[in-house]
Amino acid sequence: MIDFKKLTNPNTDEKTGLTFLEAYKKNLKDRGDDPSQVDSLLSINNDRKAMVLKVDQAKAHQNKVGQEIAKLKKAKEDASGPLSEMQTLSADIKSLEKELENINIKFKDFLSVLPNHSHESVPAGASEDDNVEVSQYGSKTEFSFAAKNHIELGEALGILDFERAAKVAGARFTYLKGMGARLERALIQFMMETHSDEHGYTEIIPPYIVNSNSLYGTSQFPKFKEDVFHLENSDYYLIPTSEASVTNVYAGEILSEDQLPENFVAFSPCFRSEAGSYGRDTQGLIRQHQFHKVELLKFTHPEESYNEHEKLTSHAERILKDLEIPFRRMALCSGDISFGAAKCYDLEAWLPGQQKFREISSCSNFEDFQARRANIRFRPKGEKAKPQFVHTLNGSGLAVGRTLIAVLENYQQEDGSIKIPSVLKKYMGGRDLIK
């Protein structure tokens, strides 16, 4: 959640000469959002302040009438007039407090759909076409034969079954069979071991079902509610990513400064309705309703969050490097960055069967945007130090299904078999090929 106090702070930034309000409006425009939303929010806040004043004035008058009633009763005089006025005042105050409650709800709802303020290093741009390539690893895989995509390869090998999954569940589901299922499991184990043993993350397997407060905390709610599967007649939702359950592990808590950074690597299935995908990637494993993901999460000191963001991104890159899959790191522009992120890198793996780079991980720094919503703070050292909001970061380390695609397409052989990457052989029973 954006810091509302900053929006109403009249001080200007020395570098830009802009107030935070002016800078945030510009940021909204760069994101492709409507800057007038902020004016609407400020108007609601003015209504809120006016209503608070009305309630306070009514209560002050109520106190005076109460004192008058007490004096009259003490003097054994008639207090019927003030008592009648007190009844009217009590009803009026109750009505005013209800109005104030409604305005507060409206204010919170309005504030909750405003996106994060992008970091100054985020490139300006209108869409993904304006994202900036930061680096590239490896050369695009080329073959002496026509490359097949993962759908052709998987179906020919009998390791992917889309047709029967559609019969059982519907579109955007898949059966992974035989060595396909083994390869998925191998990738999960390889990723989890690398991040825990070599990068120092604490392994965690979180709840796969969360409540609405948790999804609000990580900013999926209320803006992206349609993308999440709801369990009917309950406040339970299937997680769209383990970010929802792991970020909220410290919701409402105050950490010690010594705990930071706190690093978790989580494995989970993820469930997404893909309501906003508008028919994109309806074939194959790219955009499924159910998929596996290994997620990296960090709770950091605000002064260290951008250093930790670079570390987290490099840890995700390590998986691709060890698998020897060509990829590039892209800095997302203002028009493509996610709602809650202040800065984001996408890692895009080269898929020779599609002859294009495709996203395989998004590594984001949310600064204190999620921490404000989930109320996650830390207490700096010092007797009089006040709690501050932590910065939260996360990134796929990696999306397992998309990594499986990258392995199938980059390691395909002319006869349709798949060479096993050397780092996965120990998880694949020593096999060299899927054939």
224: which DSSP letter? T
**CA separation for the pair 122, 334 (Å, rounded):** 6
- Whether a cis peptide bond, with omega within 30° of 0, leads into 35 is no
Give per-residue pLDDT as tens, 2-30. 999 999 999 999 888 999 999 999 999 99
Q: Are 363 and 298 in contact (CB under 8 A)?
A: no
**CA separation for the pair 326, 108 (Å, rounded):** 44
- Say how far residue 158 (Cα) sits from the centre of its chain: 35
The helix (H) or strand (E) run that includes residue 46 is helix 36-74
Mean of per-residue pLDDT scores for the chain: 96
Give all strands (DSSP E) within 130-286, no chain letters: 132-137, 160-161, 175-176, 202-204, 209-211, 230-231, 236-238, 254-256, 262-271
Strand order in the sheet with 377-379: 254-256, 377-379, 388-389
- The answer on pLDDT for 1 being more than 90 is yes
Kindly indicate the confidence band of residue 277, based on its pLDDT and cuts at 50, 70 and 90. Answer: low
- The answer on pLDDT for 276 being more than 70 is no
The amino acid that residue 155 corresponds to is: E
Give per-residue pLDDT as tens, 208-254. 999 999 999 999 999 999 999 999 999 999 999 999 999 999 999 99
Task: Tell whether domain 4-112 is in CATH 3.40.190.10.
Answer: no
Pairwise pLDDT comparison (75 vs 185), residue with the higher score: 185
Q: Looking at the chain, how many residues does it have? A: 435
Kindly indicate the confidence band of residue 367, based on its pLDDT and cuts at 50, 70 and 90. Answer: very high
CA distances from 351 to 130, 359, 405, 406, 407 (A): 21, 10, 8, 6, 9
In terms of DSSP bridges, do strands 254-256 and 377-379 run parallel, antiparallel, or are they unpaired? parallel
**Number of other CB atoms surrounding residue 324 within 10 Å:** 15
- Domain segments of the chain as ranges: 4-112, 128-434
Q: Are 434 and 420 in contact (CB under 8 A)?
A: yes
CA distances from 385 to 300, 332, 381, 391 (A): 17, 36, 7, 18
pLDDT of res. 283: 85
Kindly indicate the confidence band of residue 157, based on its pLDDT and cuts at 50, 70 and 90. Answer: very high
- The answer on pLDDT for 323 being more than 80 is yes
Q: What is the mean pLDDT of residues 63-92?
A: 93
pLDDT of res. 394: 98
Give per-residue pLDDT as tens, 347-363. 999 999 999 999 999 99
Helix ranges, 300-390 (H): 305-323, 369-374
The amino acid that residue 111 corresponds to is: L
Helix ranges, 324-434 (H): 369-374, 400-410
One of 3.30.56.10, 3.30.930.10, 3.40.50.10190, 3.40.50.300 is the CATH number of 128-434, namely: 3.30.930.10
Tell me the torsion sign for CA atoms 134, 138, 143, 149. negative
pLDDT of res. 124: 95
In terms of DSSP bridges, do strands 327-331 and 290-300 run parallel, antiparallel, or are they unpaired? unpaired
Give per-residue pLDDT as tens, 93-140. 999 999 999 999 999 999 999 999 999 999 999 999 999 999 999 999
Kindly indicate the confidence band of residue 275, based on its pLDDT and cuts at 50, 70 and 90. Answer: low
Tokens of residue 128, six digits: 């993904």
- The answer on pLDDT for 279 being more than 80 is no
- The answer on pLDDT for 45 being more than 70 is yes
| Percent of all residues in the chain with a pLDDT value above 90, rounded to a whole number | 94
**CA separation for the pair 435, 159 (Å, rounded):** 10
Give per-residue pLDDT as tens, 175-194. 999 999 999 999 999 999 99
Q: What is the CA radius of gyration of the chain?
A: 27
Q: What residues have CB less than 8 Å from 241, skipping those under 6 apart?
A: 268, 270, 293, 295
**CA separation for the pair 165, 201 (Å, rounded):** 35
| Percent of all residues in the chain with a pLDDT value above 70, rounded to a whole number | 98
